[in-house]
Amino acid sequence: MILHQYLIIAGLTLQLFDYGQDLLVGGTDTSALTVEWALNELLKHPRLIRKATEELDRVIGRDKWVEEADFSKLPFLEAIIKETLRLHPLATLLSPRYALEDCTVAGYNIAKGTTVFINTWSIGRSSKYWDSPEEFIPERFLGKDIDMKGQNFVLLPFGSGRRMCPGYNLGIKLIRSMLANLLHGFNWKLPRGMKPEEICMEEHYGLTTHPRIPLAMIPEPRLPVNLY
């Protein structure tokens, strides 16, 4: 009896450890990398930084940092995040799905027992769903009801359904908060002599997708000195 209880506890501990490991792997560089991609794109398109900081100055003002309660008042910032995740989804392929029975999804006939891989990267860059798909145009999301919670199948950076990312709420808040405050608190410059068009947007594929060459950026404070 004691051995039986011991085995159950050991099994549960292992299961918790396994899930904890998933959380660590899934939660470590995902949000930071999304912010890195967003800054790469913004430095490549200085007009968008001006537009984003205009919104921050108008809505937040220069005498405070951005807080969670402010996010809903910053539609352009949200559009930048969606556009970043459209072009640079961190997981190129979603977790594999296994068909329990014959079915038809989006016009494809899928036989029972098939393993299906969904390629979010290619959906995000398909001219079937997006105008000028290779261009970074956050304005395409303004006034549109396209969320990232797995119901709009053209934008699935966090996946969908029962295997959808359980870290969505934490991840999206971290991205909003980091990106908003990095843009609000600092002017970002490229190293001396570097031009926006020289920024490398090539990807390095791995468990998550990194920029092949990390970008060096120079921050300058833009808020009153007492806030730092």
Q: Binding site: which residues?
A: 165
Minimum Å gap between C-beta 155 and ligand HEM is 11
**Which CB atom, from 170 or from 194, has the smaller least distance to ligand HEM?**
170
Q: Which two tokens stand for residue 119?
A: 């390629």
**58 binds ligand HEM per the rule CB under 6 A:** no
Q: CB–CB of 31/37 below 8 Å?
A: no
**163 binds ligand HEM per the rule CB under 6 A:** yes
**79 binds ligand HEM per the rule CB under 6 A:** no
Q: Which residues pair with 109 in a beta bridge?
A: 104
**160 binds ligand HEM per the rule CB under 6 A:** yes
- 98 Cβ partners below 8 Å, 6+ apart? 113, 114, 115, 116
**159 binds ligand HEM per the rule CB under 6 A:** yes
Annotated binding site for heme: 165
Binding-site member from 48, 94, 155, 179 for ligand HEM (CB under 6 A): 94
**Which CB atom, from 30 or from 177, has the smaller least distance to ligand HEM?**
30
**84 binds ligand HEM per the rule CB under 6 A:** no
Binding-site member from 59, 137, 164, 190 for ligand HEM (CB under 6 A): 164
- 112 Cβ partners below 8 Å, 6+ apart? 99, 100, 101, 102
Q: Which residues pair with 220 in a beta bridge?
A: 187
Q: Are strands 115-116 and 97-98 parallel, antiparallel or unpaired?
A: antiparallel
Count of C-beta atoms within a 10 Å radius of residue 17? 10
Q: CB–CB of 181/66 below 8 Å?
A: yes
Binding-site member from 91, 123, 199, 217 for ligand HEM (CB under 6 A): 91
**167 binds ligand HEM per the rule CB under 6 A:** yes
Minimum Å gap between C-beta 146 and ligand HEM is 16
Instruction: Report the alpha-carbon distance of residue 19 to residue 25 in Å, rounded.
Output: 10
Count of C-beta atoms within a 10 Å radius of residue 23? 13
Binding-residue total with ligand HEM (CB under 6 A): 23
Instruction: Report the alpha-carbon distance of residue 55 to residue 57 in Å, rounded.
Output: 6
**31 binds ligand HEM per the rule CB under 6 A:** yes
Count of CA atoms in the C-beta half-sphere (13 A) of 76: 15
**Which CB atom, from 27 or from 194, has the smaller least distance to ligand HEM?**
27
Judged by the rule CB under 6 A, the positions of this chain that interact with ligand HEM are 22-23, 26-27, 30-31, 34, 90-91, 94-95, 157-160, 163-167, 170-171, 175
